[in-house]
Amino acid sequence: MATLSQVRAARRADASRCRVALVGLGTVGKSVAQILQGQRDESPLQLTHICNRNVARKQASWVGPDVAWSDDIREVLATDADVVVELMGGLEPAFELLRCALQSGKAAVTANKQLIAEFGLELQQLADDRGLYLGFGACVAGGVPVLSALSDGLAGDQLTSLRGILNGTCNYILSRIEHAGCSFDDALAEAQQAGFAEADPGDDVDGLDAGAKLAILARVGLHVQTSLKQVTCRSIRDVKAIDFQYAAQLGYTIRQISTAVLSNDMIHMAVEPTLVPKNSGFAKVSGSQNLVVSSGQFGGETTFGGCGAGGGPTAVAVVSDLLQAAHRRSYPSRRPARTAVISRKATTDVETSHYLRFVVRDRPGIIATLAGVLSRHDINLDAVLQQPGYSKAELPFVITLEPCATSRLQPALAEICEFDFLVESPVRMPIVT
Ligand SMILES: NC(=O)c1ccc[n+]([C@@H]2O[C@H](COP(=O)([O-])OP(=O)(O)OC[C@H]3O[C@@H](n4cnc5c(N)ncnc54)[C@H](OP(=O)(O)O)[C@@H]3O)[C@@H](O)[C@H]2O)c1
């Protein structure tokens, strides 16, 4: 039995600890609770409340008796918790929870990329006005501390571009198409069976998930006001096994690449299937691994890589933010100097090399016809590739282009789409050299 002085010491220790209310006990929430419970005695953090809808079915014996359970978010806001962790996902009631938490003087931590991409600036303003901490390190690249590295470790540089692989589902699907030679639909079905893809995979394969992460990355790393609406998102649904064969002939493979580039006072942000060199770091990324490469005016390229998803890695990022919140609570005067975000016009126009794949009903003169259209738009061909052995009724071949502005290529492709020899619309992918 503890002595009176031990109980008093424990109470004093508890009073100095940062009280954490966790909302959303799912994949990430459970891992966060487990880390906090496992470190109970020595940690500056104390898990005091867990909230989830229909909470009774979530209660577990590994959670200590000193944790209060609730299924009412308003109850959490009325507690004496110092920090609220939002791990429900979705825009509402997540936004309202964090807004009310900050308004009532509580710090806030979230792993919710949609929320931060959409309302991050508003919440940050609210937090800054009240001298409170808002942590969202888990929103991008899960367990890879890329946001804190960009905002602190590389604060001395002027970053000009960020390029990354930010979605594990697309990695899995593209790797399966590449190695098993299967269709997109079969690779997606496999990914769903293996638990790597949601029942509704649209956000992942059509680029919206990576787009939200890119908007946050660009805001933090390039100091630009961004929103998901400014990100051009193109799906990986049209990528076929034949594209990997042609890409391999050229020394490349295909990945879903997220790019944010500053140029001429504009910002270009895109998520799209892209040819990357076979010997690059991007080509070696697999499964739930994420990779981000930043380019700075003074420091050159810096690469961040690691586990981009999953309960454990994401929970580590959340708990790291909670430790920051506890630190800010102990040293409230030490507010980090924030670099102002500036407004830049978004542009969809960027100069790059391109890969074009056509499937045609073969007849003489097709390549000359395509070259004619491209030349009229002042676009130079780089290479033409055609593998033998395909039916003339559905013949796939590839043209690669020297660097040209997408604004020049798009009208040329619109003209090309009118030709009756096309079996399907051409597939266009940028090439990263
Ligand atoms: N999983 C990852 O690898 C990962 C990685 C990076 C970031 N994130 C982000 O982390 C957040 C949580 O993801 P997750 O994978 O842990 O999701 P999850 O497994 O679906 O967990 C969400 C939890 O929140 C609860 N919840 C949902 N809406 C609620 C509401 N209105 N009121 C109360 N409780 C509610 C759910 O309850 P029910 O059990 O009733 O559904 C569930 O327990 C999301 O923003 C996600 O984008 C996840």
* 304 CA distance to ligand 1 middle (Å): 26
Candidate of 31, 50, 53, 167 to mutate for ligand 1, largest count of ligand atoms within 8 Å of Cβ: 53
CA-proximal residue: ligand 1, atom 25 (nearest): 24
Q: Whose CA is nearest to atom 8 of ligand 1?
A: 111
Strands (E) across 392-432 are located at 395-405, 422-431
Ligand 1 centroid, distance to 308 Cα (angstroms) = 16
Q: Give the global pTM.
A: 0.94
Residue of 34, 55, 217, 314 to test ligand 1 pocket, by largest number of atoms within 8 Å of CB: 314
Residue-wise pLDDT for 126-140, tens only, equals 999 999 999 999 999
pLDDT at site 40: 59
Angle at 257 between CA 338 and CA 285, to 5 degrees: 100
Poorest-confidence range of 109-118, 157-166, 208-217, 282-291? 282-291
Q: What is the pLDDT of residue 290?
A: 96
Q: What pLDDT does residue 193 have?
A: 93
CA–centroid distance, 276 to ligand 1, in Å, is 33
The band of 337, judged by pLDDT with boundaries at 50, 70 and 90, is low
Terminal CA-CA length for the chain:
68
Hey, CA dihedral for 92, 25, 73, 325, is it positive or negative?
Answer: negative
Q: What is the pLDDT of residue 14?
A: 67
**Per-residue pLDDT tens digits for 291-313:** 999 999 999 999 999 999 899 99
In 3D space, the residue among 278, 299, 228 whose CA is nearest the CA of residue 258 turns out to be 228
Q: Which atom of ligand 1 is nearest to the CA of 71?
A: 33
Helical (H) or strand (E) element with 193: helix 184-193
Residues framing ligand 1 (Cβ under 6 A): 24-29, 52-54, 87-89, 93, 111-113, 138, 142, 309-310, 314
Residue 1 confidence (pLDDT) above 80: no
pLDDT at residue 287, rounded to an integer: 82
Amino acid identity at 187: A
Which atom number of ligand 1 is nearest to the Cα of residue 142?
Answer: 6
Residue 6 has pLDDT above 50, yes or no: no
Mean pLDDT of the chain: 93
**Hey, how many other C-beta atoms are within 10 angstroms of the C-beta on 22?**
28
Tell the burial category of 31 from Cβ atoms under 10 Å away from its Cβ (0-12, 13-18, 19+). Answer: buried
Please list the active-site residues: 213
Ligand 1 mean position to 290 CA, how many Å? Answer: 21
Q: What pLDDT is attached to residue 4? A: 41
pLDDT above 90 coverage of the chain, percent: 87
Do the bridges between strand 345-346 and strand 266-277 make them parallel or antiparallel, or are there none, so unpaired? parallel
pLDDT for 22 beyond 70: yes
Output the residue whose Cα is nearest ligand 1's atom 32. Answer: 53
Amino acid 264: pLDDT: 82
Residue with CA nearest ligand 1 atom 43: 26
pLDDT higher than 60, residue 5? no
What digits encode the pLDDT tens for the residues 371-392?
999 999 999 999 999 999 999 9
Contact between residue 274 and residue 255 where contact means Cβ atoms under 8 Å apart: yes
Tell me how far the alpha carbon of residue 28 lies from the centroid of ligand 1, in angstroms. 7
Nearest CA to ligand 1 atom 18: 26
- What confidence tier does 340 reach under pLDDT thresholds 50, 70, 90? confident
* Number of other residues whose CB lies within 10 A of the CB of residue 326: 23
Task: In whole angstroms, give the CA distance from residue 376 to residue 155.
Answer: 45
Distance in Å, CA 26 to ligand 1 centroid: 5
Cα-based distances in Å from 154 to 160, 299, 302: 12, 8, 9
Residue with CA closest to ligand 1 atom 47: 112
What pLDDT is recorded for position 3? Answer: 42
- Contact predicate 402/325, CB 8 Å: no
* Percentage with pLDDT > 70 across the chain: 95
pLDDT for the residue numbered 392 = 95
pLDDT of 336 reads 54
- pLDDT reported for residue 42: 75
